Structure 1
Amino acid sequence: MSAPVLVSLAQVLLVLLGAPLLVGAMRRLRARMEGRTGGGVLQPWRDLLKLLRKAPLHPQGTGAAFRFAPLLGVACSGVAAAAIPLLSTRTGLGAGADLIAVVALLTLATAALALAGLDTATAFGGMGASREMTITALAEPAVLTAVCALAAKVGSTNLPAIVAATLSHGARPASPANLLAAVALAVVVLAETGRLPVDNPSTHLELTMVHEAMVLEYSGPDLAMVELGAAMRLTVLLGLWSALFAPWGITTTADPARLLLGLAAFAGKTLLLGCLIAAGEVFMAKVRLFRVPELLAGSFLLAVLAVSASFFLA
């Protein structure tokens, strides 16, 4: 087995095992800042193992969309983790590690979960699916526009090529185009992962929830896959953001020593970003659903400015 393939497999395993730990660390930090004890960092893994031991239950009348959506979510996040240069630019997918393809994979997982919510034929499932796809439809233009800003200087949407070009030009992360694109994609990451101010991951209020409304009917191993897929999605998006705008520590070779350094850098950057999100949520309120388009429109405007800056500014 070639070294790039091993790198991709290592990245998938890292995201699979580390994603619940990231969620646990974020919950722990938020609980401490709110004056609560909270669960331990390992609590998400304990919850997943408990759910895996339960018997699966499927609502009457549901079909393949409901049953396969959780597995598809985990699979899409796993393939994205294999494509994104989290540890090294020498990934096993090579030319297939395209930024647009990664965005399409994550959107496919969102669409599958929305179909599962509709498949239950419940009011909450349909409401959550409608809200989720509305947010996704508003976020996608900002993502694709920001991709154009990043690819303009490189002449390619290939992720390893973009990261390698950024590493070879030390001042590029501080360029106006990159800074504008970084803010635009940061807003999209919050929206796509259901974090505040777009959605509150720790509430079950019927009139405000988005992600939770789609998964209310899941239980047992299916719910474990849903939770694992959501944690992996968060980790992958934070890893993607750090790879594009803070690629320090990512190696351009498959040397084991450099890969270990990349592993430490990835863990540190992802944990730092996760803790910043968790700390910000303590002081942030959820915006009304009708204000979310304004937030994402601002993200799209920043992405457009990033494209303009990539052509007219150094």
Structure 2
Amino acid sequence: MNGIGYAAVVGQVVVVVGGAPLLAGWMRQVRARLEGRAGAGVLQPWRDTCKLLRKEPITPAGTGPAFRAAPALLVATTAVATALVPLLSTDTPVSSHADLVVVVALVALGTLALALAGLDTGTAFGGMGASREMTVAALVEPTILLSVFALSMPAGTTNIPAIVAGAAHHPARLASPAGLLAVAALAVAVLAETGRIPVDNPSTHLELTMIHEAMVLEYAGPDLALVELGAQMRLTLLLGLLSSLFVPWGIATSGSWGALAVAPVLFAAKLCLLGAALATAEVCWAKVRLFRVPELLAGSFLLALLAVTASYVLNGAP
């Protein structure tokens, strides 16, 4: 493997870590403009992170290692998953290890770390948020697996770079019934996994409805900065995975410096469009009631199951 593959891996991690707060700021700015407000600016999440990093770390009395390790584990697992998922290139030194199950397991590990941290605090809000988060995760993770698995059947492998490369060379797969069902199911799963409307509202602290915020209420200073950065990275990663699977054009599929140089620009453009669309939808949508969330996620799981069935039939399986 030449230096292009290593540069692609480093570039993916740098783009996601550095661009995740910018994506969050862009979405807040779009939402503010649609609501008739000026907004704080695209760079506000970076300013908040720098401010939190300068503060004194505070750990609640009685918490154990699960609470202290969760922020770093959340960022680390997301960074590893970012290195595996083909966001800029499908030809990297780690592409052979970028299996669907491995990537989903890394995302689930970050979710589990936050849930354990919420339980470790011993507070009512922490336990409530952890319980809700694991309920959502139990429905979201199978949906992600089945959605991508439906796309893996034409490629004959669960290796995500191979799936993306196959979709880039055979775009007709994406317009098939299986592809359309899979994108709908995966889009709902991404909204739930990242705690966006209609599943959760990231901008509220109403105790009766919050899920993610309930688990991280006890964090402060640098730990809170890592938690916020990890959440922003997960949003960027999952939106990037969605764009790579269903809009794979612009991703370098060969060892070319020219293709790799263009890939970050097109990746940023796709994320800006997805972020703007998501922010616009959040202005128009209302958060569903908490007891309706399992029904919504069960519907997305059914769509993913139908996508697998359609892919099985359309690919001439015996």
The answer, yes or no, to whether TM exceeds 0.5 is yes
Structure 1 residue runs of 4 or more that deviate by more than 2 Å after TM superposition: none
What percent of counterpart residues are identical?
Answer: 65
Task: Indicate if the aligned counterparts of 1:7 and 1:92 stay in contact, CA closer than 8 A.
Answer: no
Report deviation, 1:274: 0.9
Q: Secondary structure at the match of 1:13?
A: helix
The one-character-per-residue Cα deviations of 1:228-278 (angstroms, maximum 9, x if unpaired) are 000000000000011111101011123222112111111011111111110
Cα distance between partner residues in 2 of 1:104 and 1:18: 23
Alignment-derived partner of residue 58 in structure 1: 59
Deviation, 1:135, is: 0.2
Question: Partners of 2:50 and 2:284 in 1: how far apart?
Answer: 32
- 8 Å Cα contact 1:173-1:179 kept in structure 2: yes
**Aligned partners of 1:19, 1:171: CA distance in 2, in Å?**
31
Determine the structure 1 residue equivalent to 2:3: 2
The RMSD of aligned alpha carbons is 1.0
- 1:284 corresponds in structure 2 to 285
d(CA) in 1 for partners of 2:192, 2:225: 22
Contact kept, 8 Å, 2:4 with 2:257, in 1: the verdict is no
Secondary structure of 1:171's match?
Answer: helix
Aligned ranges for residues 231-310 of structure 1 at < 5 Å?
231-310=232-311
Aligned match of 2:128: 127
1:57-100 deviation line (CA, Å, top 9, x unaligned): 00001111111100111111111111111111012212111121
Q: Give 5+ residue unaligned stretches, structure 2.
A: none
2:168 maps to 167
Shift of 1:138: 1.2
Matches within 5 A, 1:61-210: 61-210=62-211
Contact 1:82 1:91 in 2 (8 A): no
Q: How does 1:21-36 map to 2 (within 5 A)?
A: 21-36=22-37
Q: Is the 8 A contact 1:100 1:147 kept in 2?
A: no
Equivalent position SS for 1:286: coil
| C-alpha contact (below 8 Å) 2:85/2:160 kept by paired residues | yes
Report the equivalent of 2:48.
Answer: 47
Q: Measure, in 2, the Cα distance between the counterparts of 1:176 and 1:139.
A: 21
What is the SS of the residue equivalent to 2:202?
coil
1:275-300 alpha-carbon deviations (Å, 9 max, x no partner):
11101000111101110111011101
Q: Is the 8 A contact 2:100 2:145 kept in 1?
A: no
Deviation of the 1:170 alpha carbon: 2.3
CA distance in 2, matches of 1:192, 1:22: 17
**How high is the TM-score relative to the length of structure 1?**
0.98
Q: Deviations over 1:95-131 (max 9, x none)?
A: 1111211111000000000000000000000000000
Q: Report the number of matched residues.
A: 314
The one-letter code matched in structure 2 to 1:278 is: A
